[in-house]
Structure 1
Amino acid sequence: MLAAAVVLTALFLNIPLAYEILKWLGALFLLFPTWLAVQRYVMGGVLAGMAAKLAAEPRHGV
């Protein structure tokens, strides 16, 4: 574990672009599940609202 930390530190000190790439990938790693959760929440609310509206409408000819 210590060896991995030393190697990664040396890599990031010698190649700053590698650190920037890892930083942005980490941000995307956190944002992607958040985006999925927000989509699910919004779509769940929209679909639930549509279902409630359809259930409340009177049915003609049934």
Structure 2
Amino acid sequence: MPGRPHSREFKLDILEHIERNQRTTAQVCREHQLAPSLIYRWRKALETRGVAAFTNETMADQA
């Protein structure tokens, strides 16, 4: 079952807060009801593919 969709801006904002040590991964997960593994996947995707990793596939399919 797929999870709820998150926007590119949301993902980047979450990762930025963690990266700048404004919040820990655990804090962000509690605040937004996210699984830590999701945050780690987002971080790995950003490191390997950059912001292009967070393109909205649904919108790309409609184009």
TM-score (norm 2): 0.29
Higher relative contact order (CA 8 A, sep 6+): 2
Q: Which structure dedicates a bigger proportion of its chain to helix?
A: 1
TM-score (norm 1): 0.29
**Largest Rg, 1 or 2:** 1
